[in-house]
Structure 1
């Protein structure tokens, strides 16, 4: 400990001298990041991970033991400091949470288990330097096909004299059995009627429903074909913190249809007009689910100065189609076939019979997430030609026009806080192999990681258990992410710039002063002037 302290002090002194004198030249660190590794070794290490999984599935204790340097290696999930402290206070002063038996107990458990066991690995990363290596991954441990534990796991391995790789330590975090899916229903009667219809283009209006007060304003954009009601378990939980607005895109919910295609660019243009005409002022924290994630990401690219942060809930990605089609070429033809079948949805409802395949495909069945009253309204809306046209238009454009619009968007998002939530890895369908599904799951995570890297303050989280609708399966996970981004944005430099501009604007409007000025950062008299001022005075150069 004294050595570490001395080293810290010497480093601090060196840093001070360099800062004061400005003459010291940092020594080269060419060795950093240079490892001795080979593809054959990495393949052998990955084979160890596969053999480990196979040993568990087959309950082969001998095979498992053969993968380890010895049964007494470090093999532990260290408990929390608070738990260690409690055990020590309860009469175990030497307790440190590390099992002295090492892996022996686990080997015995595997060999004698009466139920099916399995460990799944995700995001495997191998780092090798000569005869030592590290493997890390996300894991799920299953008993009887049910997740009993999950977390992050890390191994250390070494290459033995016979050329084989052996595990000599295993450490993992532990979260226990994950929570079950939420069974809550959306019942707010506000989702059964239009709340506020705001003109965005001539007489064409969009419906928006805002609750709560405060800044930044959280703006919720639903998935493909969905409306504001999709956020019914999240909106009431965020409203006590800040103003929260869910809206219906053109032709969906209670919004008027548009004669424009349902592309992300047109949707972003509509949303920007809606917020401006409704006098809902920046800064915004944008929250998008699925296709809505593409829309809010394009909004943030287009109107960066107005966006304080983003939360993307299992978002679609502009490159997801190519990722999926490369892994599963047949899915491209299936996608086209589904799109063609949707064209039938544009026909008159006169030919529909409730319960028929056409009815199920175009209207859908009652959702257990909604009350009977809300389901009844949703069925009536789904039968409207405008709803069906809007839904089909969004699907027609998501993989082509909308995706290209996202690829063409550029410009820095600065360091705005971004959280990406990913559903738990899906299981194979009837036509998928396990390898194909694993590749798709890993591709999905890779695309979500890419979104998180758009900002140095970006992060991605996997929500277990959950399906695609995380905001309904695990609403508390979405609420926590939004709260985190809202609070982070309030502490940011950009937010303070927004606050100064808003105070100036409110002062002018309250005093009815509309005097001309040459100051580009002076209060504006109109919504358009005010937005232009926000862009110029709290622009991309202002980091969060």
Structure 2
């Protein structure tokens, strides 16, 4: 268990939130990607004055709920959590991967409560318009295989524990141990949270209306996605990454105050953990 944060009552559940107050404004709220939790952003938070970490229901140290969930349900839940925790808005929403969908949905639903958007290697409902034609087959194969994965063996857990020790070297010992145990035991949550991309999330964002006129910054992971590398050859992976870069540039071009930045060498899943300075710098550019 982590020594940080508190559980706050939101409806019939309790949600974990850790707030580091500071002099900077607006407050930043980090929305983790699928499989990640608030504590994965701890190094970024400690470089970012006035920042909030939290676990949405069904993840981390918050109450369990059936997964997957709609983007609107997650956004409405976060809004109430911020109210209960006394976090005044408007806020900057910093969403990674799946969390970027939730951040955009929040901005669609509650535009007056958002001061800026930081989208960290986000997906998009029109992603296949930018990817090579083979990407649809690749996506289906990844979903099929990751949905049928067996439990980790003792040897896999041993190797992963060593990798997590390096990944979270900057984290305090209690939080490092808590994160390692969580990711080893609850890794299937990443699969469960993303089951409704094609059937619900994409449709929600398409029908949700425009984003508010606030500063938006998109960070693109400059390194290759290791999951794609496992399933596809180097040529397809390179073309897919070029498509993601083009998609992110299009997202920025679609708003009045958009900015795009590539984080060299960053991998999609670990960008928030391994490049906290890049995230803190991006937040500082979104603040007035």
1:393 and 2:192 are equivalent in the alignment: yes
- What's the offset of the Cα at 1:284? 0.4
- Is the 1:421–1:461 contact (alpha carbons within 8 Å) kept by the matching residues of 2? yes
Q: Following the alignment from structure 2 to structure 1, what is the Cα–Cα distance between the partners of residues 257 and 190?
A: 34
Aligned partner of 2:177 in structure 1 is 376
Q: Following the alignment from structure 1 to structure 2, what is the Cα–Cα distance between the partners of residues 401 and 364?
A: 37
1:404 and 2:193 are equivalent in the alignment: no
1:273–1:341 CA distance, 2 compared to 1 (3 A): same
TM-score, with structure 1 as normaliser: 0.47
Q: Following the alignment from structure 1 to structure 2, what is the Cα–Cα distance between the partners of residues 361 and 307?
A: 41
1:483 and 2:288 are equivalent in the alignment: no
1:381–1:473 CA distance, 2 compared to 1 (3 A): closer
Q: Deviations over 1:26-75 (max 9, x none)?
A: xxxxxxxxxxxxxxxxxxxxxxxxxxxxxxxxxxxxxxxxxxxxxxxxxx
- Is the 1:413–1:454 contact (alpha carbons within 8 Å) kept by the matching residues of 2? no
- Is the 2:161–2:180 contact (alpha carbons within 8 Å) kept by the matching residues of 1? yes
Q: Following the alignment from structure 1 to structure 2, what is the Cα–Cα distance between the partners of residues 477 and 454?
A: 23
1:311 and 2:118 are equivalent in the alignment: yes
Q: Following the alignment from structure 1 to structure 2, what is the Cα–Cα distance between the partners of residues 263 and 364?
A: 35
Q: Following the alignment from structure 2 to structure 1, what is the Cα–Cα distance between the partners of residues 158 and 200?
A: 28
Provide the secondary structure at the position in 2 that maps to 1:276: helix
- Is the 2:167–2:274 contact (alpha carbons within 8 Å) kept by the matching residues of 1? no
Q: Greater relative contact order: 1 or 2 (C-alpha under 8 angstroms, separation 6 or more)?
A: 2
1:193 and 2:3 are equivalent in the alignment: yes
Q: Following the alignment from structure 1 to structure 2, what is the Cα–Cα distance between the partners of residues 367 and 328?
A: 33
TM-score, with structure 2 as normaliser: 0.85
- Is the 1:251–1:258 contact (alpha carbons within 8 Å) kept by the matching residues of 2? yes
Aligned partner of 1:234 in structure 2 is 44
Which of 106, 112, 115 is matched with 1:299 structurally?
Answer: 106
Q: Following the alignment from structure 2 to structure 1, what is the Cα–Cα distance between the partners of residues 161 and 201?
A: 24
Q: Deviations over 1:133-173 (max 9, x none)?
A: xxxxxxxxxxxxxxxxxxxxxxxxxxxxxxxxxxxxxxxxx
Q: Deviations over 1:483-504 (max 9, x none)?
A: 01012xxxxxxxxxxxxxxxxx
Q: Following the alignment from structure 1 to structure 2, what is the Cα–Cα distance between the partners of residues 353 and 453?
A: 46
- Is the 1:284–1:307 contact (alpha carbons within 8 Å) kept by the matching residues of 2? yes
- What's the offset of the Cα at 1:374? 3.3
- Is the 1:327–1:439 contact (alpha carbons within 8 Å) kept by the matching residues of 2? no
1:213 and 2:13 are equivalent in the alignment: no
Q: Following the alignment from structure 1 to structure 2, what is the Cα–Cα distance between the partners of residues 332 and 360?
A: 29
Larger radius of gyration: 1
1:379–1:233 CA distance, 2 compared to 1 (3 A): closer
Q: Deviations over 1:232-281 (max 9, x none)?
A: 22111112xxx210101112221111246333222112111111221211
- Is the 1:197–1:208 contact (alpha carbons within 8 Å) kept by the matching residues of 2? yes
Q: Following the alignment from structure 2 to structure 1, what is the Cα–Cα distance between the partners of residues 134 and 119?
A: 24
1:426–1:393 CA distance, 2 compared to 1 (3 A): closer
Aligned partner of 2:242 in structure 1 is 442
1:303–1:378 CA distance, 2 compared to 1 (3 A): same
1:223–1:412 CA distance, 2 compared to 1 (3 A): closer
**Unpaired segments ≥5 residues, structure 2:** none
RMSD: 2.9
Which of 224, 229, 236 is matched with 2:34 structurally?
Answer: 224
